[in-house]
A and B are shown apart, each in its own frame.
Chain A
Amino acid sequence: MSRRRADVTPVLTFIPLLGLAALCIVPLLWLIFAPTKTDAQIVADAPLSFGTLSGYADAWGNLLSFQDGIILRWLWNSVWYSSAIVVGAVIVCLAAGYALATAPVPFRRTILVVTLIGMIVPAAALVLPLFLEISALGLMNSPFAFILPSLFFPFGVYLAFLHFSGNIPPEILNAARIDGAGEWRVLWSVALPLSKSLIGMLAFFSFVASWVNFFLPFLVLNKSEAYPLSLGLQALMANTPALNPAAGGSFIPIHRPEVALAGILAIVPVAIVFLFSQRYLARGILTGSIKD
């Protein structure tokens, strides 16, 4: 009886799971194949057919011709904005989370509640005062207008707090203190080496959040040269006849293959980070790295 069930259930489990996996992969394949074809082929050929490899080169050449290669500028902007945000946010979150979890911080509960509230505050509620604040500081169109507010990352602070309060036994930290380590030393030499997966996760989340962020740069960066790729992609889609025949300008050589290639550029870094941090993520946010 139990034997028969063991044979049937995995199949019943696998079919929907594999079906869903196929649904996840097919659009990606389409996207990867799209730039290999010409615009006409994308419409006429089978959706998942492959054109020629030189299609990538053609599409890339056309992308470069758009506003004097501004795509390179966007790409570079995205890279350095995101790097700055990742480094800054990880440091802030680790320090804040560690302090909240282990030190007798006054108003600890209040701060935690505010952090959690910060997590769910609609970006819109913060964005308006932020906008006024940024224009008051004269930071409009400056990269810092995007970078500094992005360091405010309550989700990361809360993750760090969960980690330091739940996964690291207080005894270890106390032992280090008794051995004469200062608080910085305890954080640096004891807590951080136990927190590699946390750091991986913080870097992962802050990278993904900043790389794809649209709302904030949309608001504070309105010069095309300052755009990150996410905004650039939208500009590309809205201002060329690729998706929007009404945009006119059919002399612009930006069509579906070019837009698809720009989309790939926007996705690849996130996908790479996904693959690399899988190991850390798989351990799960809320699972204990130390079991007692």
Chain B
Amino acid sequence: MLLLLFGIGPVAFAFVSALGLSDVRGVLSPFARAIGDFRFLPALTNVAIYLAISLPLMIVGVVALSLLVDTLRRRWAAPLLLVYTLPGAITGAAAVMLWYFMLQPALSPFGPALRAMGFERGPDIFNNSFLVWIFALMAFAVGFGQWVLVVTGALKSVSEELLEAARIDGCSAWQTAVHVKLPLMRRTLLFMLILAFASGIQIFVEPQILHSVAGVGSTSWSLNQLGMTYAFLNGDFGSAAALSMLLFAVCLVVAVFVLVRGRFLDTEHEQ
């Protein structure tokens, strides 16, 4: 069947790319160079802190909001969901631009709030110690709406009978949410977690642009930026490839773990 070609095509493409990388696998020295670089540890720390902030924020935020929205009538929920997805339209370069303005106390409509928190001028916020928070907030703003949409969509498919049964058994709204709805959301949430982790670990656009615009961070703030620095500033493709392999390995381990635990691969057609 011709369809197979299409099915295998993109995947084969990935294999080819991976084979391209395997040339350097035999040689350990690029790994040593990549990890030994003085910029590696700071970049790793930045990304780790960023993930530690943004993933829980995303999961907890999306679950809480979805459960709340799910209690509303459709008439109210639909426009709210629409509004929540609006910030998702602003990503990448445009998001950096908008957030740059929003976090300038002199320009921002949130100026009073920012000043109340003790930020008087732009540089008080655009400062290396707050970057992880800024990026985590940006990731949340961009992503939460779509995920709330997906999760509330999934919540709607929870059958009325099940919820009725829970009510009869004396579950409070809170208990129903935690013991009935959440477990049914497991797959969706794991799916979200993988994607959020994968996109988080390769954060690139935000620190790159913010560095060129506001002069904070650096061109090697994140691991992904560091890889680009290795490859195109230092001309050291070996180290860059080694760093890529490390990122790949981390994502692979996390994904395989989640996929195996989450039983993602079953299909009705198999039986």
**Which A positions have Cβ atoms within 8 angstroms of B?**
9-10, 13-14, 16-18, 20-21, 24-31, 34, 42-43, 47-48, 91-92, 95-96, 98-103, 105, 109, 111-133, 151-155, 157, 161, 165-166, 170, 183, 187, 208, 212-215, 218-219, 230-231, 233-234, 237-238, 243-244, 246, 256, 259-260, 263, 266-267, 270-271, 274-275, 278, 281-288, 291
Among B141, B231, B247, the residue within 8 A (CB) of A125 is B247
Asked if B102 and A129 make an inter-chain contact with CB atoms under 8 angstroms apart, the answer reads no
Asked if B110 and A26 make an inter-chain contact with CB atoms under 8 angstroms apart, the answer reads yes
* Known contacts A170-B269, A263-B94, A267-B89; A124/B204 CB under 8 A: yes
* Most B-side CB within 10 Å, residue of A270, A283, A288: A270
**Which B positions have Cβ atoms within 8 angstroms of A?**
1, 3-4, 6-11, 13-18, 20-21, 65, 68-69, 71-72, 76, 78, 80-94, 96-98, 100-102, 106-111, 141, 145-146, 149-150, 152-154, 156-157, 173, 187-188, 191, 194-195, 197-198, 201-202, 204-205, 208-209, 212-215, 223-224, 227-228, 231, 237, 240-241, 243-245, 247-248, 251-252, 254-256, 259, 264-265, 267-269
Chain A residues within 8 Å of B93, by CB: 212, 214, 230-231, 233-234, 237, 266
Chain B residues within 8 Å of A260, by CB: 97, 101
Q: A17-B68, A122-B224, A215-B205 are in contact. List 15 more A-B contacts (CB 8 A).
A: A17-B69, A24-B141, A114-B15, A117-B251, A117-B255, A117-B256, A122-B248, A123-B224, A125-B247, A132-B237, A234-B93, A274-B86, A274-B89, A281-B153, A284-B154
B34 CB to closest chain A CB (Å) equals 12
* Known contacts A16-B68, A126-B14, A284-B149; A271/B156 CB under 8 A: no
Complex Cα–Cα for A234 and B97 (A)? 9
Asked if B198 and A119 make an inter-chain contact with CB atoms under 8 angstroms apart, the answer reads yes
Asked if A30 and B101 make an inter-chain contact with CB atoms under 8 angstroms apart, the answer reads yes
Among A105, A122, A187, the residue within 8 A (CB) of B247 is A122
Q: Give the A-B pair count, Cβ closer than 8 A.
A: 298
Asked if A124 and B4 make an inter-chain contact with CB atoms under 8 angstroms apart, the answer reads no
A276 CB to closest chain B CB (Å) equals 12
Asked if A121 and B1 make an inter-chain contact with CB atoms under 8 angstroms apart, the answer reads no
Complex Cα–Cα for A155 and B14 (A)? 13
Among A99, A212, A243, the residue within 8 A (CB) of B92 is A212
Asked if B240 and A128 make an inter-chain contact with CB atoms under 8 angstroms apart, the answer reads yes
Asked if B71 and A13 make an inter-chain contact with CB atoms under 8 angstroms apart, the answer reads yes
Asked if A120 and B265 make an inter-chain contact with CB atoms under 8 angstroms apart, the answer reads no
Asked if B244 and A124 make an inter-chain contact with CB atoms under 8 angstroms apart, the answer reads yes
Asked if B88 and A274 make an inter-chain contact with CB atoms under 8 angstroms apart, the answer reads yes
* Known contacts A113-B259, A122-B198; A101/B83 CB under 8 A: no
Chain A residues within 8 Å of B191, by CB: 286
Q: Which residue of B lies closest to A114 (CB)?
A: B11
* Known contacts A113-B265, A124-B224, A128-B227; A214/B92 CB under 8 A: yes
A183 CB to closest chain B CB (Å) equals 6
* Known contacts A126-B17, A267-B90; A102/B11 CB under 8 A: no
Complex Cα–Cα for A126 and B88 (A)? 25
6 contacts between A and B (CB under 8 A): A99-B7, A111-B7, A119-B195, A234-B212, A246-B215, A287-B157
Asked if B156 and A284 make an inter-chain contact with CB atoms under 8 angstroms apart, the answer reads yes
Chain A residues within 8 Å of B108, by CB: 30, 47
Among A120, A127, A165, the residue within 8 A (CB) of B268 is A165
Among A13, A128, A266, the residue within 8 A (CB) of B94 is A266
Chain A residues within 8 Å of B13, by CB: 152
Chain B residues within 8 Å of A43, by CB: 106-107
Chain B residues within 8 Å of A208, by CB: 89, 91
Asked if A286 and B187 make an inter-chain contact with CB atoms under 8 angstroms apart, the answer reads yes
Complex Cα–Cα for A96 and B11 (A)? 10
Chain A residues within 8 Å of B204, by CB: 123-124, 214-215
